Amino acid sequence: MTEAILPPIAMLAELTHRCPLQCAYCSNPVELLKANREMDTQGWIALFEEAADLGILQVHLSGGEPTLRSDLAELIACLAGRGVYTNLITAGVGIAEGRIEAFAAAGLDHVQLSFQGAKPETTEKIGNHRGAHEKKIETARRVREVGLPLTINAPIHRHNMHEVPDFIEMALALGAERLEIANVQYAGWALLNRDALMPDRDAVEREVQIVEEAQERLRGIMTIDFVTPDYFAIYPKPCMGGWARDAFMVAPDGTVLPCHAASTIKSLNFERFGDWSLGRIWRDSPAFNAFRGTDWMAEPCRSCERQEIDWGGCRCQAMAIAGDAAATDPACIKSPLHARMGALIDEAARMPGNAPDFQYRRIGKVVESAA
């Protein structure tokens, strides 16, 4: 049924694609933008002002690594001045002395800090950055010292799933309010590296048991967010809470997208802030309207009782696996391609050795290969 278009409430602002880490599971597009393509301070401030006018309540400041923007405190102050909740999503490496304090003084509300491993050698290997683990521990300490709430984000895949118990203990020790056990979604660099990152079925079963036990044990002490990984699930997640339903993202050059992997849907064109206003993009962009609501759905979604629960799942996953962004997400058991997800798990498990090499994230051509 066609619904009224309600204003968005959340925005993910990818301030830059630059990053000191090179994680192979990154969901950024494989073609990363260089610094000279980034919007300048005034561009982001104009965008944030308009977002606040539109009714945006929360902005996730992300990247790449958002702290590489020397104007980050200014951008936070702009949002805080408009009463917008700000969440900094950081890898926590190389943040100069005094900057976390400056972010807090500018009005930052929350920090989400990623750890690639629960052990130094794992963090170092996955991110391809020497000493990363110790730097992240220090960042966590500084975040807590200035009194900001802390979420630890643990992107989980084949190379670190066995460390889930250690991630839980580490997050507790760091004083985190929340731990996200974030099973990697296969978009961008992660899709390129899917075979190398795919866990096996037994490991996922163990992971689910460990997390459920910890959620019970730590109730009231630390929240643990967890969703069964897509390829192992029977129903898909409501990706982005539904396409163009209440959130959107902005790429470093100001291109406004319904989700982080939308640019893989080549039949869609995406407008840039500045060429169009945010409000016009949200209401009128053909790309935003392509999969909004339920009218676009074909069977089995069209007659499914879950259509307003998961909104047909992920359009980008449908594109990647079915080759059709309008198809039912193959993560869904009702999709005729659901068996393909299982076959991809089995194909990855048959790869020689423990896992094939993965390609580290890099601006420029795909060149690096290591494991």
Residue numbers belonging to the annotated binding site: 19, 23, 26
Closest to 306 measured CA to CA, from 210, 232, 231, 236 = 236
Q: Does residue 64 have a cis peptide bond before it, meaning omega lies within 30 degrees of 0?
A: yes
Residue 187, binding choice from ligand FES, ligand SF4, none, Cβ under 5 to 8 Å by partner class: ligand FES
* DSSP characters over 300-367: TGGG-TTHHHHTTS-HHHHHHHHS-TTSPPTTSTTSTTHHHHHHHHHHHHTSSSS---BPPP-SSS--
Q: Which is nearer to ligand SF4, 151 or 328 (CB)?
A: 328
From the list 145-153, 218-226, 269-277, 313-321, the region that binds ligand FES by CB under 6 A is 313-321
Q: Least CB distance from residue 182 to ligand SF4, whole Å? A: 21
Q: Which residues are annotated as a binding site for [4Fe-4S] cluster?
A: 19, 23, 26
Question: Of these, 13, 150, 314, 348, which contacts ligand FES (CB under 6 A)?
Answer: 314
Question: Of these, 124, 207, 230, 310, which contacts ligand SF4 (CB under 6 A)?
Answer: 310
Q: x/- binding map, residues 333-362, to ligand SF4, per CB under 6 A? A: -x----------------------------
Instruction: Kindly state the tokens that stand for 357.
Output: 């090499």
The answer to whether 150 and 140 are in contact (CB under 8 A) is yes
Does 296 engage in binding with ligand SF4 (CB under 6 A)?
no
Does 14 engage in binding with ligand SF4 (CB under 6 A)?
no
Phi, psi angles (nearest 5°) of residue 65:
-110, 105
Q: Which is nearer to ligand SF4, 35 or 333 (CB)?
A: 333
CB atoms within 10 A of CB 354: 9
Q: Please calculate the CA angle 204-207-210 and round it to the nearest 5 degrees.
A: 155
Question: Of these, 241, 279, 300, 356, which contacts ligand SF4 (CB under 6 A)?
Answer: 300
Does 187 engage in binding with ligand FES (CB under 6 A)?
yes
From the list 35-43, 206-214, 296-304, 339-347, the region that binds ligand SF4 by CB under 6 A is 296-304
Residue 150 pairs in a beta bridge with 111
Give the separation between CA 104 and CA 97, rounded to whole angstroms.
13
Q: Which is nearer to ligand FES, 270 or 276 (CB)?
A: 270
Does 229 engage in binding with ligand SF4 (CB under 6 A)?
no
Structural element, H or E, at residue 110 = strand 110-114
Q: Which is nearer to ligand FES, 140 or 261 (CB)?
A: 261
Q: Which is nearer to ligand FES, 68 or 318 (CB)?
A: 318
CB atoms within 10 A of CB 42: 9
Q: Which residues bind ligand SF4 (CB under 6 A)?
A: 235-236, 300-301, 304, 306-307, 310, 312-313, 328-329, 332, 334
